[in-house]
Amino acid sequence: MRLSSLFIPLAAFVVAAIVSVFAAQATVAVVEDRSVDAVQDSLQDAGHNWATVLGDGLQVILEGEAASEAVRFRAISISGTVVDASRVIDNMTVVDSAGIAPPDFSVEILRNDSGVSLIGLIPAASDRAAITQRIGDIAGENLPVTDLLESADYPVPDGWDPAMDFALRALAQLPRSKISVASGVVEITAISESAEQKARIETELRRTRPSDVRMALDVTAPRPVISPFTVRFILEDGAAQFDACAVSADAGERKIIAAARDVGLTGPASCTLALGAPSRTWPDAVARSIAALGELGGGTVTLSDTDITLVAPQGTAQGLFDRIVGELENDLPDVFALEAVLPAAPDAAGAGIPQFTATRSPEGNVQLRGRVSDETLNSIAENYARARFGGTDIDMGTRIVDGLPANWSVRVLAGIEALSMLSNGSVVVEPESLVVRGNTGNEGASAAISRLLIDKLGQSEQFEIDVVYVKQLDPIAGLPTPEECIGQIVGLSSERKITFEPGSATIDAAAQSLVDDIAEVLKLCAELRIEIAGYTDSQGREEMNQQLSQQRAEAVLAALRMRRVPTSSFSAIGYGEVDPIADNETEAGREANRRIEFRLIEAEPVEEQPTALEEAEAAVTEEESETGTTDEQN
């Protein structure tokens, strides 16, 4: 009895222990399965389908091959949010970095008045010290250079070095710019100080761009600030013209041009878009003043900021003049003040009107003739002319006389300054008028002269400007087109010929002058892609002829380079004996076939490259699309 009573509690304890063990094992299995399933689902939801999740008791084991350390770390982090991080065992591997594609090297350079900054990724083999030194030289001693470049040890991609070199040369020309550099591609965004500087910058960059570098160029020029803001409109004998016209918006220009056409303006017309308009009602005041001239049948109207001067034609009836001027005064916006002038009829005493003339020849010779009031004005006029015309010899033929108007010196000096704005022409100064005539290569010269004379003489003074814009005198617009450049070279080559010493690639001494002339033509041309093609006759082996023609084409290219012609976009190709232009059976024909030809290379269309932001957005979109597809499949 005593043994039986002891055995029963012991047996119950053993059975309870066995049941507890089995219950614990079942609980662990359930926890293990649920943990594995939860972690696996979370990883798949995050797009980590490459990871495999195993369970070992309460531990969660991650296996698989991660694309990078960053991806591996994200998988561990995601798992740690589902189960306790201490239960996560990392058995993952990382893809061998040697098999990863090299990164896209790129640099962004920003230059402004505060300094130069660089950010991006460059090959480790790049000469970083040389790049920093060049940028330091560009920035100068007083401006900082912020270097945020990183490097990666991968091979230097094709086109990287010429693109970086061109970008740094462009940076030296552009004080306010952003330049993006990639392999074989340079994107330039810059601000110039004027339209003329913008044209010069664009021309120079296109001329010096390497042939294996693509360029995206965006140079903007701010609107000029004009003070005083000026319009001068003349209507005479039915012919109308603007001496100067400034507006602040396109809509205002359209309103002013329309008013001018209503009173007789014909042909092309435009106004300078500029800053400095004294009032938002400026176009209304200009248009109404021009309409008043039309009602008078002629005259001149000048607006300088808020001051308006209207000069009616001589002989206008007093009643008509009063009525039109009165209506104009009432119609003008409040801020504008009108001065109207009805000139008196000339008298017979005008035969002895004093006169001063200044002329400038196309060769640059300057002559001053006519009357001056005293020796001081005579000396000042000569010295002022020397200063304005860059030290040119001044041919003086002036006379000192008494009785000239009080403002004669101002009129003489204003006339000399106006003449200096022309390539050639003349100025005639009289007591009641000033006439400027001539040619210029500056489209804004007429407006600039008008503002000058208004400022120096006053709005009510009579002056006439007859200035013709000549494209050939414009240093930018006058550049020949690529077709014109090739046409000039062909014309030179038709009269003479680039010849070589027999059997060699040495340019003959007699042909050096022709190469000189061709180089001078090319220096005046904008960016050109030119092929220098070499040809031979059919004598000798074909392979040798091809090699000789290649050497001769390269010799011409080298000769042009020695003459400081930008040849980065030129190519030299030898064609040997193909494409004969004459019969190789005769000596004259063989001589004709031994030749150098210049021809334009047609530009290939530039495929727009996506920006780094666009590439990143596309990658995110693609990843989201793939994740969505995976969710649907799951």
- The CATH number of the domain holding residue 145 is 3.40.1520.20
189 and 81 part of one domain: no
pLDDT for 622 = 58
Same domain, 141 and 209: yes
Is 17 in the same domain as 62? yes
Kindly tell me if the per-residue pLDDT of 408 is higher than 80. yes
Q: Please, what sign has the CA dihedral across residues 204, 207, 213, 218? A: positive
Compute the average pLDDT of residues 187-191: 93
Q: What is the value of pTM for the model shown?
A: 0.50
Q: Which pLDDT band holds residue 574 (cuts at 50, 70, 90)?
A: very high
Residues 235 and 289 in one domain: yes
Kindly state the tokens that stand for 254.
């359209």
The answer to whether residue 613 is domain-embedded is no
Whether 248 shows a pLDDT value over 60: the answer reads: yes
Domain check: are 402 and 467 in the same one? yes
Helix pair angle (282-296, 318-331), 10° resolution: 170
Boundary-marking domain end, from 63, 97, 131: 97
92 and 121 part of one domain: no
- Higher pLDDT: 315 or 256? It is 256
| Beta pairing partners, 65 | 93
At 346 the pLDDT is: 59
For residues 409 and 431, state if they share a domain: yes
Residue 327 belongs to domain with CATH number: 3.40.1520
Check pLDDT > 60 for residue 619: no
For residues 363 and 466, state if they share a domain.
Answer: yes
| pLDDT for 633 beyond 50 | no
Q: What is the pLDDT of residue 348?
A: 44
Q: Measured between alpha carbons, how far is 507 from 515 in angstroms, rounded to an integer? A: 9
Domain carrying residue 205: 106-220
In terms of pLDDT, which residue wins out, 39 or 14?
Answer: 39
- Do residues 590 and 510 both lie within one domain? yes
Structural domain count, the chain = 5
Task: Output the CA–CA distances (angstroms, integers) from residue 438 to 233, 243, 360, 473, in the order listed.
Answer: 19, 14, 9, 12
Looking at the structure, tell me whether residues 486 and 453 fall in a common domain.
no
* Contact of 355 with 370, CB cutoff 8 Å: yes
Q: How far apart are CA 584 and CA 150, in angstroms?
A: 62
Residue 534 lies in a domain: yes
| Nearest Cα to Cα of residue 156 among 125, 188, 201 | 125
pLDDT, mean over the chain: 84
Indicate whether 31 belongs to any domain: yes
In a domain, 628, yes or no: no
Higher pLDDT, 476 or 371: 371
Q: What is the pLDDT of residue 349?
A: 45
Residue 140: pLDDT band (50, 70, 90) is confident
Query: Residues 399, 402, 407, 413: what is their CA dihedral angle, to the nearest 10 degrees?
Result: 10
pLDDT of the residue at 399: 83
pLDDT-based confidence at residue 31 (cuts at 50, 70, 90): low
- In this prediction, residue 620 carries a pLDDT of 47
Position 631 pLDDT exceeds 60: no
Instruction: Tell me which of 294, 309, 341 is where a domain ends.
Output: 341
Return the higher-pLDDT residue of 616 and 81: 81
Residue 582 lies in a domain: yes
pLDDT at 261 over 90: yes
Backbone conformation region of residue 299, classed left if phi is above 0, alpha if psi is from -120 to 50, else beta: left
**pLDDT, mean of residues 4-12:** 65
- Of 468-472, 478-482, 623-627, the poorest mean pLDDT is in 623-627
pLDDT in tens, 193-216: 877 788 888 888 888 888 788 999
The answer to whether residue 367 sits within a structural domain is yes
pLDDT of residue 350: 44
Distances from the Cα of 299 to the Cα of 260, 427, 451, 515, angstroms: 13, 21, 18, 57
Asked if the structure places residue 398 within a domain, the reply is yes
**Residue 629 pLDDT level (bands cut at 50, 70, 90):** very low
pLDDT-based confidence at residue 80 (cuts at 50, 70, 90)? confident
What mean pLDDT is predicted for residues 117-133? Answer: 88
**Distance between CA atoms of residues 99 and 182, nearest Å:** 22
Give the pair of three-digit tokens for residue 420: 């200096």
pLDDT at residue 88 above 90?
A: no
d(CA 313, CA 346) in angstroms, rounded, equals: 12
Residue of 101 and 256 predicted with greater confidence: 256
pLDDT at residue 14 in the model: 66
Residue 630: band (very low, low, confident or very high) from pLDDT cuts 50, 70, 90: very low
Q: What is the pLDDT of residues 167-179, one digit of tens each?
A: 999 998 898 999 9
Give the pLDDT of residue 476.
Answer: 65
Report residue 486's pLDDT band, with 50, 70 and 90 as the boundaries. confident
Same-domain check for residues 313 and 417: no
Considering the domain architecture, whether residues 359 and 415 belong to the same structural domain is answered as: yes
Residue 625 above 60 pLDDT?
no
Tokens at residue 583, please?
């019969």
Q: Please check whether residue 79 lies inside any domain of the structure.
A: yes
- Most confident segment among 47-61, 76-90, 379-393, 403-417: 403-417
Q: What is the CATH number of the domain that holds 572?
A: 3.30.1330.60
Among 166, 185, 220, residue at a domain's last position: 220
